[in-house]
Amino acid sequence: MASTMRAWAVKTPGPIDTHPLVQIERALPVPGPGQLRLRVVACGVCRTDLHLAEGDLTPRRALVVPGHEIVGVVDELGEGASTVRIGQRVGAAWLARTCGACRFCLADQENLCLHPSFTGWDIDGGYAEFVVVHEDFVYRLPEGFDDVDVAPLLCAGIIGFRALRRTKLPKGGRLGIYGFGGSAHLTAQIAIAEGARVHVMTRSPESRQLALALGATSVGDTGDPPPEPLDGAILFAPVGEIVPIALAALDRGGVLAVAGIYLSDVPTLNYERHLFQERTLCSVTANTRHDGRELLEIAEKIGMRSTVHPYHFTEADRALEDLAHDRFSGAAVLVAFDT
């Protein structure tokens, strides 16, 4: 086996059209105790990767390799790794490691860990031929999904699922979705399967068509009021100006969950119009491994369909550019160098 690999790294963060992502050659990573080396076969392209490349998220290390919706085949085991086997297909996601000892970890809230590590931010991610991950933080993947279709579930799916649960949507409730990309189109399928009426507000005509095809009750532009008051809403678009619009659309006691890791500034809120009558605004911070396992079980049960747009790994920079400019609906996925 070669001693080096190809990867994409964030060189100088900036607008995506300035090409902050560069292709590099790096030493083949070696797994340490309890770790696995995966040969990457697919990696989803998440908006968080775009925020990292453009500097909305400050890189935690120089030339960090993005990518945290990783589908890989176990290539090498580190010392003591025993829960998976060589050749097994597994998934790796945003949450790379937690301390396991802080008050949040001990309270089953590891997404709020005081000393976490994140894939593609703190440690190198899946925009590469190989990646090293910890065996306790990989997922067994449903057999009914191929490599490309399952990749977006590993962040877009998991985070959207956590956001849906954060809305505390009642059975048969009315859900509003603002922005309809990779995460939203998966979350909508869960809500619809569970009996919700889903109203989608997005500026993209193509995304509105996708929402209707998946069973949305109504679609409209971002600023349009939904046809009925909402019991819950999820904001996927990283646009703070939408927050008061979504809050105003909530019924009494409704909850708005902001699903992104980054959000532009929120305008001044009017208490009576936006928060009174026990409306709630909350955020979503990472996910727990339990969230991931539950999402994958639900996806298999309901026959979730990923709308994907494959890009060869050599096109990672173009995939991020297309994401930034809304040139596709659904999710982009990088396909391995040798596929």
Query: Judging by DSSP bridges, how do beta strands 331-335 and 138-140 pair with one another?
Result: unpaired
Write the single-letter amino acid at 338.
D
338 pLDDT above the threshold of 70: no
Domain segments of the chain: what residues?
4-152+307-335, 158-283
Query: In whole angstroms, what is the distance from residue 322 CA to residue 319 CA?
Result: 5
Average confidence (pLDDT) over 45-51: 95
* pLDDT for res 278: 97
The answer, yes or no, to whether residue 319 has pLDDT greater than 80, is yes
Tokens matching residue 200: 């989608």
Cα separation values, 177 from 183, 225, 242, 281, Å: 11, 12, 11, 14
What's the confidence (pLDDT) of residue 202?
A: 96
CATH architecture of the domain with residue range 158-283: 3-Layer(aba) Sandwich (3.40)
Q: What is the pLDDT of residues 250-281, one digit of tens each?
A: 999 999 999 989 999 999 999 999 999 999 99
Per-residue model confidence as pLDDT tens digits over 82-136: 999 999 999 999 999 999 999 999 999 999 999 999 999 999 999 999 999 999 9
**DSSP label of 161:** H
State the pLDDT confidence band at 2, using cuts at 50, 70 and 90: confident
Report the distance separating Cα 195 and Cα 174, nearest Å. Answer: 9
pLDDT band at 337 (very low <50, low <70, confident <90, very high): low
| pLDDT the model gives residue 32 | 97
What architecture does CATH give domain 4-152+307-335?
Alpha-Beta Complex (3.90)
215, pLDDT greater than 90: yes
- How would residue 310 be classed by pLDDT, with cut points 50, 70 and 90? very high
3-state secondary structure of 160: helix
The predicted structure's pLDDT at residue 336 = 87
CA pair distance 192, 172, nearest whole angstrom: 9
Mean per-residue pLDDT over the chain, rounded:
96
Report the pLDDT value the prediction gives residue 84, as an integer from 0 to 100: 96
- Contacts of 180 by beta carbon, 8 Å cutoff, 6+ apart: 188, 200, 202, 204, 207, 208, 210, 211, 236, 329
Given a contact cutoff of 8 angstroms between Cβ atoms, the answer to whether 55 and 116 are in contact is no
CA distance 164 to 330: 18
Asked if the model's pLDDT at residue 23 lies above 80, the reply is yes
- Whole-prediction pTM: 0.94
pLDDT of residue 139: 98
